[in-house]
Every structure is written in C-alpha cells, then in structure tokens.
C-alpha cells in the first residue's frame, strides 16, 4: 500500500476561506513590547510573515502582557477565539502548522532566557541580528534585516542605544555587517 501523498497546505489560501470570526487588517510590521511599572519598554518579539501572536488567549490568558505596534506594512488576519478553536479542532493541517509554530516559539523563548544571564549584550545583539536574518532556519537567510532603529535593537537586546551603536560599528569594521540604508548581514 502506497503512503498517502501529503497535500501542500497553504496557510494564506486557507485563511482566506475562513468565514465567521475572521477579520483582515493592514498595518505596518509588528513589534511586541512590554513596559515595566517604572516605564521601561522592552521589545520581546518581532513577528515575521506567517507568525502568530495573541495565541495565549487560547490558553485562557485574560489580559495581554505585550503591546503590539507596527514597524512596516503588513496584513494581519485576526481569528476570534471561537473561530481559532474551531479551526484547530477541524483542520488537521492547520493544527499541525500551529503546533509546530507554538513549539518553535517555546524553544526560542527558552533560548532567549538562557541568553540573557549568560551572554554579554554584544553577543545578544549578534544573536538578534542573526535571528532577524533567519540564519539557522530552513531556506536561504535574508541578507537584509527589516529596517529598524538602533533604539529598537537596544530594546530587544536589553542595553542602551549607544552600546548598540558601538557594537554595530565594531561588527561593520570586522566585515560582519554593512548598513547603508538598511542592515545587511555579510555571509562568508
């Protein structure tokens, strides 16, 4: 007996077919931030194409911890909790995609937690730049990192903008980066 051929699941096509409980909005690129009680802001994630955010409501989170704001143009498909639950239950291919996403995010969060106390801010910045360039993921890495300020990079890394500026100049001096109109990771 031949194994059944797997169909190619296209989330974009699939999401256009969901009816009730779905809205589509156009925004700029999203960043998720948290603000401490002292008013200090930290960027906790910059979702990319095909990423999910707000999924904690499915686990019963009543109040959002992070605030979303935009960086560049993007389109967001919003599924209400009931619609999302129905799709996860009724569409195995979507469920598989969503579960893989949640598990990979969990791994990334654990790596971020380990990175914070054990690595210098210079190493954390280098790691963030590689993550933004999709190094280590399937497919070809992006040589151009999405445009963002050194202040935003500082919020992600947990340091000051002036230290990020110093590290970026150092990375450029050693030939790891080029930034003239955008940040480009130089591959060897």
Token pair 């906790």 is found at 44
> Has residue 180 got a pLDDT over 80?
no
CATH number at residue 106: 2.60.120.10
Domain membership of residue 177 (yes or no) is: yes
Domain count along the chain:
2
The C-alpha angle 27, 79, 99, rounded to 5 degrees, equals: 105
Chain centre distance of CA 15? 19
Q: What are phi and psi of 52, to 5 degrees?
A: -105, 155
Report yes or no on 8 lying in a domain. no
Residues 32 and 74 in one domain: yes
Regarding beta strands 41-45 and 30-35, do their DSSP bridges make them parallel or antiparallel, or are they unpaired? Answer: antiparallel
What is the domain range of residue 86? 14-118
**Model pLDDT for residues 34-50, shown as the tens digit of each residue:** 888 888 888 888 887 77
Same domain, 18 and 98: yes
**17-21, 31-35, 148-152: the lowest-pLDDT one:** 17-21
Q: Are 23 and 90 found together in one domain?
A: yes
Residue found under tokens 């979507």: 94
- Pick the residue with more confidence: 64 or 175? 175
CATH number for the domain that contains residue 180: 1.10.10.10
Look over the chain and give the mean of its residue pLDDT values, rounded to a whole number: 81
């Amino acid at each position: 007996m031949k194994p059944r051929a797997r169909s190619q699941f296209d989330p974009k096509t699939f999401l256009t077919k969901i009816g009730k409980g779905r809205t589509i909005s156009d925004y700029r690129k999203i960043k998720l931030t948290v603000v401490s009680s002292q008013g200090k802001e930290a960027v906790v994630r910059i979702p990319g194409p095909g990423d999910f955010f707000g999924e904690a409501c499915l686990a019963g989170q009543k109040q959002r911890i992070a605030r979303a704001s935009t960086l560049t143009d993007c389109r967001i498909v919003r599924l209400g909790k009931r619609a999302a639950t129905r799709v996860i239950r009724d569409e195995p291919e979507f469920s598989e995609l969503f579960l893989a996403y949640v598990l990979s995010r969990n791994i990334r969060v654990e790596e971020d937690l380990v990175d914070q106390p054990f690595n210098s801010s210079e190493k954390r910045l280098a790691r963030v730049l590689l993550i933004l360039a999709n190094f280590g993921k399937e497919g070809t890495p992006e040589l151009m990192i999405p445009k963002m300020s050194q202040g935003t990079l500082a919020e992600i890394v947990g340091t000051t903008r002036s230290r990020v500026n110093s590290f970026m100049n150092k990375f450029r001096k050693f030939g790891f980066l080029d930034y003239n109109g955008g940040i480009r990771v130089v591959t060897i």
